[in-house]
Amino acid sequence: MEIFTSWPSWAHAQGPLSAALPEPTVRDLCEAVTFAGRRHGVQQRPTGRPYLEHLLEALEVAVSGAGLVDRDVLVAIVLHDVLEDTSCTEAEIARRFGLEVAALVRWVTRPRGGAKADYLASLVRAPQGAVLVKLSDRVSNVQELQRMPWRFQRRYYMETVAYVMPLAGAHPWYAKWFSEWRGRWRRVERWPA
């Protein structure tokens, strides 16, 4: 199972992105990373690492792992948490990055006050671009699940198996990655709830 943690900053990501993608896409990704960095500011992941690392990991998953090249999907991956975790609006994303990116980000944004299970279940109706954003996000989140407390590990594992892995079925690279991941984490199913 490949782990995607080699792009902790834009400086690390820029070279591989330039080798894999057209220059206009790389420019748009640079703008999106700068925008997300400003929006997320000093936010950290639950592990204490800068939040921007998660966004770059998800981008690395998409480009280096799954081989995605679609500009809108890749930009949405970088911006996927700005509606949920910052004061950014969908209109602002649409103005800066286009209506399609804004729509993809909206699809993967959990509604405020909504149940997480309902939100995850709704993704079966999402456009494939939004599914790819969510899959890349979740690979980043679960690839080092061992860094989290065991109760979180079990809940997140079960949630991933129930809601996210079925979404991967139509996307062979993600399906294979999640299958390998589940094989390594299956012991969690035996842990007490």
Question: Is-catalytic flag, 81?
Answer: no
Query: 73, 25 in Cβ contact below 8 A?
Result: no
Q: Report the distance separating Cα 110 and Cα 47, nearest Å.
A: 21
Residue 44 — φ and ψ, nearest 5°?
-125, 160
Instruction: Given the residues 31, 70, 85, 92, select the one marked as catalytic.
Output: 85
Q: Which residues pair with 50 in a beta bridge?
A: 44
Among residues 2, 84, 118, 189, which one is catalytic? 84
CB atoms within 10 A of CB 24: 9
C-alpha to C-alpha distances, 16 to 12, 21, 25, 63, nearest whole angstrom: 8, 9, 13, 9
Verify whether residue 23 is a known catalytic residue.
Answer: no
Active site members:
84-85
